[in-house]
Amino acid sequence: MNIIVCMKWIPDTSEADLTVAAGAKDIKKDDLDHDINDWDRFAVEEAVQIKEKVGGKVTVVCVAPEDSEETLRECLARGADEAFQVWSDEMEGGDGYCTASILAKFIKNRDFDLVLTGTLAEDDGAGQVGGMLAAMLDIPSSTLVSKIEIHDKKASFLRELEGGLYESVETDIPCLISVATGLNEPRFVSIRAVRKVASIDIPNMGIEELGMDAGQVGQAGARLVMEEVSLPPEGEGAEIIAGKPEESAARLAEILKEKGALG
């Protein structure tokens, strides 16, 4: 079972004070820490668990600059067998379509049975790459998958629906599955595991190695154009209601009536 996991390297914005970069096309990322997209962390773990059950090889690929090498090495420490960084300066500014095109070029040159991605990326929440990649590879796909079983050249899985419902799906292999968070429990990465993979080579592939040209990637190949990025306007802030409990309750009721929340 040859499994390829597509991992995204994203900035950690959870506790950062964000500012818009010059040109208003993106946020400033120079001072932000980067890490593996959380959805993709579950995809890596699921790939390793499948390999442990049925055998095979896990390959992780990331379309990101050279600084992403540390995160790729973490994937190796989690149990992946090899990792590839795909990047050329021409890829800067690309959209989901460009990323899917690059990944398709990478994957088509390899033997694979299963492609795993996260359903969403935490930075843009677009959820587009998995579906476009499957179409480019001409293989079946599904999203929001919360359980996977591999048997007899088929993949069986549960897919999350709205309202707490699930649907049971079976498809032929090869296929692409975009996983949900909570699919598994990503393993703890020990210092010993990190040291073990410290010297493993992580190749970088550019557009020439992929057989692409500059017009297919980056802003030149993008189907979407980012017009402007802006921070949400600041509100007036919260009103602190002081006084005794009965006075505060009366004032709260008065505010709710003013806002139309009470009749």
Query: At how many degrees (to 10) do helices 129-137 and 96-108 cross?
Result: 40
pLDDT bucket at 208, cuts 50 / 70 / 90: very high
Answer whether residue 229 is part of any domain. no
Same domain, 82 and 173: yes
Element (H, E) at 248: helix 245-258
Across residues 28-41, what is the average pLDDT?
85
Q: Please give the span between the terminal C-alpha atoms of the chain, in angstroms, as a whole number.
A: 63
Q: What pLDDT score was predicted for residue 224?
A: 86
Same domain, 208 and 263: no
- The tens digit of pLDDT for each residue in 63-85 reads 999 889 999 999 999 999 999 99
Residues of the chain above pLDDT 90, percent: 65
- The tens digit of pLDDT for each residue in 120-145 reads 988 888 889 999 999 999 999 999 99
Same domain, 23 and 101: yes
Same domain, 257 and 157: no
Residues of the chain above pLDDT 70, percent: 98
Does the pLDDT at position 262 exceed 90? no
- Is residue 123 within 8 Å of 12, Cβ to Cβ? no
**CATH number of the domain enclosing 82:** 3.40.50.620
Same domain, 148 and 213: yes
Answer whether residue 232 is part of any domain. no
**Domain, as residue range, for 243:** 237-263
Same domain, 39 and 109: yes
Residue 19, number of CB atoms within 10 A of its CB: 9
Domain count, the chain: 2
Same domain, 211 and 261: no
Alpha carbon distance 59, 76 (integer Å): 9
Same domain, 253 and 147: no
Mapped onto helix, strand or coil, the DSSP state of residue 175 is strand
Same domain, 105 and 144: yes
Stated pTM of the model: 0.84
Same domain, 108 and 182: yes
Same domain, 85 and 203: yes
Top pLDDT among 99 and 256 is at: 99
pLDDT bucket at 263, cuts 50 / 70 / 90: low
Q: What pLDDT score was predicted for residue 59?
A: 97
Same domain, 242 and 214: no
Answer whether residue 227 is part of any domain. no
Provide the Cα torsion 36, 82, 139, 87; round to 10°.
Answer: 60
Per DSSP, the residues of 49-92 read HHHHHH--EEEEEEES-GGGHHHHHHHHHTT-SEEEEE--GGGT
